[in-house]
Structure 1
Amino acid sequence: MINQPKILVIDDEPLMRISVADALIAEGYEVKGVESGREGMDLICKNAYDVIMTDLKLPEVDGLEILKTALKCFPKSKVIMITAYGSVDTAVEAMKQGAYDYITKPFSMDELLIIVKRLIEFRELEYENIKLKNEIGEQYTFEGMVGNSVKMQEVLEKVKVVADTGSTVLITGESGTGKELIANAIHHNSSRKDNPFIKVSCAALPESLLEAELFGYEKGAFTGALKQKKGRFELAHSGTLFLDEIGEISPAIQVKLLRVLQERQFERLGGTETLNVDVRIICATQRDLKKEAKQGVFREDLYYRLNVVPIHIPPLRERKEDILLLASGFVKKFAAQNNKPIQCISEKAKELLFHYPFPGNVRELEHAMERAVILGNSKEIQPADLPDDMLNFYNKDLKTSIKISYAEPLSKAIEHFEKEFIIKAIDETKGNKTLAAVKLGISRKTLWEKCKNYGLDKAK
Structure 2
Amino acid sequence: MIRVCLIEDDPIMGEALVQRLELEGFAVVWHCTGGDGMRALAAGTADLAVIDVNLPDLSGADLFARLLDERVRIPPSLFITGYGTIEDAVRLLKLGAADYLTKPLDPTALIAKLRALAGVHDGGRDRPGDEPLGISASMRHLAGELTRMARHAQTPLLIGGESGVGKEVVARYLHRLQCPDAPFVAVNCAALPETLIEAELFGHEKGAFTGADRRRAGVFEQAGSGILFLDEIGDMPLALQSRLLRVVQGRQLTRIGGSESVAVPARLVCATHQDLAALVREGRFREDLYYRVRVLEIRIPPLRERPEDILWLAERFVADYGRRVPQERRVLTSEDRERLLMHTWPGNVRELQHTLERACILGRGERLALDDARDAPAQTGLKAQAQASERAAIEAALAEQDFSMTATAARLGISRKTLWQKMKRYGVTRLR
Interval containing the TM-score (normalised by the shorter chain): 0.5 to 0.7
Amino acid of the residue matched to residue 279 of structure 1? A
2:164 aligned to which of 176, 182, 186: 176
- Secondary structure at 1:379's aligned position in 2? coil
Aligned positions of 1:56-455 closer than 5 A: 139=129, 141=130, 144-166=131-153, 167-190=155-178, 192-340=179-327, 342=329, 344-381=331-368, 383-384=370-371, 387=373, 389-390=374-375, 393=376
Deviation at 1:367? 1.4
The structural deviation recorded for 1:339 is 1.4
User: What RMSD over aligned residues (CA atoms) do the two structures have, in Å?
Assistant: 1.9
- Whether contact under 8 Å (1:265, 1:274) holds in the other structure is yes
- Would you say the 8 A contact 1:352–1:394 is kept in 2? no
Q: Is the 8 A contact 1:146 1:325 kept in 2?
A: no
Comparing 241-250 and 292-301, the one that deviates more: 292-301
SS in 2 for 1:189: helix
Report how far residue 382 of structure 1 moved: 5.5
CA distance in 2, matches of 1:138, 1:176: 26
Identity of aligned residues (%): 45
Letter in 2 for 1:183: A
Q: Secondary structure at the match of 2:225?
A: coil
Deviation at residue 227 of structure 1 after TM alignment: 1.6
Unaligned runs of 5+ in 1: 1-136, 398-460
Give distance in 2, aligned partners of 1:381 and 1:365. Answer: 13
- Structure 1: which 4+ aligned runs deviate by more than 4 Å? 393-397
Distance 1:220 1:148 in 2: 52
CA contact (8 A) 1:338 1:374 kept: no
The amino acid across from 2:337 in the alignment is: K
- The change in CA–CA distance for 1:281 and 1:212 in structure 2 (over 3 A counts) is same
Q: Distance in 2 between matches of 1:303 and 1:234?
A: 22
Q: Relative contact order (C-alpha < 8 Å, sep 6+): which is higher?
A: 2
Where 1:195 maps in the other structure, the secondary structure is coil
SS in 1 for 2:244: helix
Give me the whole-angstrom Cα distance separating, in 1, the residues matched to 2:330 and 2:322: 8
- In the alignment, residue 274 of structure 2 is paired with which amino acid? R
**Cα distance in 1 for residues equivalent to 2:328 and 2:184:** 36
Measure, in 2, the Cα distance between the counterparts of 1:279 and 1:216. Answer: 15
Task: Say which SS state the counterpart of residue 187 (structure 2) adopts.
Answer: strand
Q: Distance in 1 between matches of 2:244 and 2:379?
A: 48
The alignment covers a number of residue pairs equal to: 253
In the TM superposition, residue 340 of structure 1 has moved relative to its aligned partner by: 4.0
* Structure 2: distance between partners of 1:321 and 1:193: 28
**Pairwise CA distance, 1:153:** 1.8
The amino acid that maps onto 1:189 is L
> Which region of structure 1 is more displaced relative to structure 2, 176-185 or 154-163?
154-163
Specify every segment of 5 or more residues in structure 2 that has no aligned partner in the other structure, as ranges.
1-126, 381-432
**Contact kept in structure 1, 2:253 and 2:263, CA below 8 Å:** yes
Question: Whole-Å Cα distance in 2 between the matches of residues 314 and 185 of structure 1?
Answer: 16
For 2:177, the aligned partner's letter is N
Larger Rg: 1
- TM-score, normalising length from structure 1? 0.52
Counterpart contact for 1:177–1:316, Cα < 8 Å: yes
Q: Is the 8 A contact 2:202 2:256 kept in 1?
A: yes
The structure with the largest helix share of the pair is 1
SS in 2 for 1:349: helix
**Shift in CA distance, 276/336, structure 1 to aligned 2, threshold 3 Å:** closer
Deviation, 1:179, is 0.4
TM-score by length of 2: 0.56
Distance 1:250 1:341 in 2: 46
Q: Give the letter aligned to residue 186 of structure 1.
A: L
Partners of 1:306 and 1:216 in 2: how far apart? 21
- Deviation string, structure 1 residues 134-189 (Cα, Å, up to 9, x no partner): xxx755x2xx1242222222211111111232221100111111100110111111
